[in-house]
Amino acid sequence: MNALRSENSGVSIVLCGQAGQGIQTVEKLLTSILKASGWNVFATKEYMSRIRGGTNSTLIRVGSKPVRGFINRIDVLAALDKSAGGHLAKRISPETVIMGEKEVLSGFGDTGSFFEAGFSQAAKDLGGKVYANTVAVGALLRLLGIPAEEVKEPLERFFGGKSDEIIEKNQQALQKGFEMAEKPAEDFGAGLKLSGEPDVQGRMLVNGAQAVGLGALAGGCNFISSYPMSPSTAVLAFLAQNGGGLGLIAEQAEDEIAAVNMAVGAWYAGARAMITTSGGGFALMSEGVSLAGMMESPLVMHLAQRPGPATGLPTRTEQGDLELALYSGHGEFPRIILAPGTLSEAFSLAKKAFDTADKYQVPVIILTDQYFMDSYYNTETFSLEGLKKSSYITKTDKDYLRYKLTENGISPRGVPGFGEGLVCQDSDEHDQQGRITEDLELRVKMNDKRLKKLEAAKAETVQPSLVGAEDYENIIVCWGSNYNIVKEAIELSGRSDTAMLHFSQVYPVPEKAIEKLKRAKKTAVLENNATGQFAKLLKLQLDFEPDEKILKYNGMPFAADALSEKINEMF
Amino acid sequence: MNADKFDMGNIDIAWCPGCGNFSILDVLKDSLAELEISPEQLVMVSGIGQAAKIPHYLKANFFNGLHGRALSPATAIKVSSPSLTVIAESGDGDMYGEGGNHFIHTIRRNPNITNIVHDNMVYGLTKGQASPTSRPGFKTGVQINGVVLEPFNPLAVAIGLDAGFAARTSITDKELTKDIIKQAVRHNGYALVDLLQPCPSFNKVNNYKWFKENTYRLEDTHDPSERDRAFSLACKTDKLALGVFYKSQKPSFEENISAGPEPLHEKRLDTDKLESLIKSFAS
């Protein structure tokens, strides 16, 4: 296996089969065992928009160093269905070890190193089909060269709560798999020539949706209203399942329009509310974005992107909605758009989103995508250190003015029932009290007031991270979920003259970034879309134009290995 | 409590002379005063339209939002701060047209809010087009040959969905209107008040006289717990019955989701619990 020579990129395992065949069970079992044994793991999936059938695959990477992004290379392929051959043809090399039942292997051509494995028969011998997945996990672990004794305990923990018999049977199934792969492992020279890191065991294993959800809770989120839409639903489900104990109210609204109007209403009454949706849902919510702008209501919106227009590719990934987030809602009003690059950043920025929205009374949009939502890896445990619940709500007095004209545009925000004053919010242009006005001079004052808040909010701009060579000649600019992919691609390319400038705040664009961009001899902007939406924004806000654009919009994320070759061609 | 507690003083009111909204505003203020609700504890929520301006003309907290969306923020406000009295008040276009989907699902959700719908069977703000409740044959600048659509029947829909409280009244009967608004506000759960009113500028057919002649009070013997009877009365549209058609006692949305009486803005994050949730991902 090629990978075994690569210290940096570890081993890449792909599971491929139909939906409903148990890929997710294998994925969960394998990653939790590996992580519990001290290996760094990463997993991400690509799937078709159907409940059963189709051809889906999950990439699992394991390494002694952190592995955190998508790559094309497949070292071991566990094929559960004939269609895997055609589906993954471009990613299979002669060194790919392909394991599967006899009839499944017949779906592949000549490329690859084949290992015929009788998972079903072995499972049947043990008393049921249900054990086939554990047999496969055993075989995979043997190929990786992990000793059977090392995984006994993690397996027991994985099935914790199940009967002793079930645990025992699964131990036997795992052993069966180990034995089955004994000879192929020797033939293919398999075995992880890497070392685990003991402290990996104590770190978190989370995906993008969980990171956003935990960050929201840390930000004081206590209300979520949303309509389910892939790939954003996982955040709604996470908060519904885990927020109750923290006093969070989760409501599945009848549509996205209700969801966003509920969220604005909840903020009005003093809640810290968010919505989670995808592009199509966000499009429906644009009236609510505009409402928040006019009412000067805080609002936190999580937009998990997928390819459009319209229903597009519902289960795939893209960064095609930056302009939607940027321009949604009519009229002119400030907003802030954050795009976390790593899981720990998803946590910290989701938390920050609530504070920023509350402080400046503006909508804050968190942009992620399907790839980010569905990817997970072990990361340092999120810290609540220094967390203080900052409340920006004012107790009102009799003469309270909701839209008091102030120097920085921010008026003290009261909530109904707290104090002696009345809290009046209006979607029409209004006076300082919040009542409808057609005083055109006041209109200008109120508009200026709203826009001024963006200037104030700039004090808290999230600066981009420069990763890689300090004395770079080339810079690759990226944003959002591409952080780990570009970082790894530069490492794999071996180029010490190339750095990455990653933006976690895409709007307003951090102005100081221009200094770093100007220092480069050659620049490229990389985005998961067809028109270079962030590049356009850089031109608009910083008057910066890159030498190259690297764009991908086939529904798949960039692959670090393919990108490293591209870097060497380009620079 | 005196109704002048809700007075805005000398303000510019944008309604046409003779508009039914003036009487509705007066009756509403009287009802609230008799219920001893303070302006500070009251939130008026509305959408867009002439009726939707009502929060501007009485002293209270208000959220005057978007067209058709009054019920969504009203629900969220109530659940976020359950001790507030929340009234969503707007017109027939707003609640039944633009907001039709929210109307249906708010009834299903059953938040403890009062929903007063000014029903004048016409669009006033946009100058006289048909509304969902306009009656067949009603001619407008858009429905030039007269309305051909089946009118929306809010009472039948609400009773069909087992609404907590469904009533119809007419501003031509102020006494009944006040009584019904008071009952609706007191009701625990969603309460619909379909409030008929004349629009002197754009509805020359369903005028004051028409409402007088085509409505009647439900008899005292009417039992609002009888759903079948209430539904069949709601389906009768030759003459329109006024009164509380239907009532059912069931837990409100806030009670069902166990939000507790404390407003969300007073709750503090339990960092120990969050810490242990975070740690559960590290084992």
Q: Does B69 touch chain A (CB under 8 A)?
A: yes
Strands laid side by side in the A465-468 sheet: A465-468, A498-503, A474-479, A522-527, A548-551
Which of residues A157 and B38 earns the better pLDDT score?
B38
Q: Are A16 and A45 in contact (CB under 8 A)?
A: no
What pLDDT is attached to residue A200? 83
pLDDT value at A7 more than 70: no
Query: Any idea how long chain A is?
Result: 571
Q: How far apart are CA A509 and CA A519, in angstroms?
A: 18
Q: Are strands A465-468 and A498-503 parallel, antiparallel or unpaired?
A: antiparallel
Residue B273 falls inside a structural domain: no
What pLDDT is attached to residue A53? 85
Please state, in angstroms and as integers, the Cα–Cα distance from residue B92 to each residue in A106, A450, B95, B132, following that order: 66, 33, 5, 7
SS3 at position B227: helix
pLDDT value at A488 more than 90: yes
- B218-265 pLDDT tens trace: 999 999 999 999 999 999 999 999 999 999 999 999 999 987 889 999
With contacts defined as CB-CB under 8 Å, which chain A residues touch B77? 265-266, 268-269, 416
Q: Are A307 and A344 in contact (CB under 8 A)?
A: no
Residue B26 falls inside a structural domain: yes
- A37-91 pLDDT tens trace: 888 999 999 999 988 888 999 999 999 889 999 999 999 999 999 999 999 999 9
pLDDT value at B108 more than 60: yes
CB atoms within 10 A of CB A407: 8
Give residue B279's region: left, alpha or beta (phi > 0; psi -120 to 50). Answer: alpha
Q: Average pLDDT, stretch A353-377? A: 98
Percentage above 70 pLDDT, chain A: 97
What pLDDT is attached to residue A3? 40
Q: How far apart are CA A25 and CA A45, in angstroms?
A: 13
What pLDDT is attached to residue A192? 62
Helices and strands, number each (H, E), in chain B: 10, 8
CB atoms within 10 A of CB A213: 31
- A306-341 pLDDT tens trace: 999 999 999 999 999 999 999 999 999 999 999 999
What pLDDT is attached to residue A390? 76
What pLDDT is attached to residue A193? 62
pLDDT value at A6 more than 60: no
Helices and strands, number each (H, E), in chain A: 21, 21
Contact B53 A427 (CB under 8 A): no
- B32-74 pLDDT tens trace: 999 999 999 999 999 999 999 999 999 999 999 999 999 999 9
Please report, for the domain that includes residue B141, its CATH number: 3.40.50.970
Strands laid side by side in the B191-196 sheet: A424-426, B61-64, B42-46, B85-91, B114-119, B191-196, B165-170, B240-247, B215-217
CB atoms within 10 A of CB A330: 12
Q: Does B125 touch chain A (CB under 8 A)?
A: no
Confidence of residue A1 (pLDDT cuts 50, 70, 90): very low
Residue B211 falls inside a structural domain: yes
Residue B276 falls inside a structural domain: no
What pLDDT is attached to residue A202? 83
pTM for the model: 0.97
Quickly list H helices, A127-278: 132-143, 148-158, 164-180, 182-187, 208-218, 233-242, 256-268
Q: Are A368 and A212 in contact (CB under 8 A)?
A: yes
A146-160, A495-509, B162-176, B240-254: range with lowest mean pLDDT: A146-160
Q: Amino acid letter at A297?
A: S
With contacts defined as CB-CB under 8 Å, which chain A residues touch B69? 257-258, 261, 287
Domain count, chain B: 1
Range of the domain at B83: 3-257
- Domains, chain A, in order of start with CATH, read 11-200 (3.40.920.10), 208-378 (3.40.50.970), 393-460 (no CATH), 465-570 (3.40.50.920)
With contacts defined as CB-CB under 8 Å, which chain A residues touch B39? 422
With contacts defined as CB-CB under 8 Å, which chain B residues touch A428? 64
Average pLDDT over chain A reads 94
Q: Which of B149, B148, B125, B146 is nearest to B205 (CA)?
A: B146
Quickly list H helices, B57-160: 71-80, 92, 100-109, 154-160
pLDDT value at A481 more than 60: yes
Contact B66 A427 (CB under 8 A): yes
- The chain B residue lying nearest A401, using CA atoms, is B61
Q: How far apart are CA A527 and CA A212, in angstroms?
A: 21
Burial grade of A569 (CB within 10 A; 0-12, 13-18, 19 or more)? exposed
What is the least distance, in Å, from the CA of A168 to any CA of chain B?
22
Residue B278 falls inside a structural domain: no
Q: Are A34 and A41 in contact (CB under 8 A)?
A: yes
Bond before A508 cis per omega within 30 degrees: yes
Reported in sequence order, the residue ranges of A315-399 that DSSP labels E, i.e. its strands, are 336-338, 363-369, 376-379
Q: Does B13 touch chain A (CB under 8 A)?
A: no
Residue B268 falls inside a structural domain: no
Q: Are B173 and B197 in contact (CB under 8 A)?
A: no
Q: Which ipTM value was assigned to this complex?
A: 0.98
pLDDT value at A560 more than 70: yes
Matching residue, tokens 């009533």:
B167
Q: How far apart are CA B196 and CA B215, in angstroms?
A: 10
Confidence of residue A4 (pLDDT cuts 50, 70, 90): very low
Give residue A308's region: left, alpha or beta (phi > 0; psi -120 to 50). Answer: beta
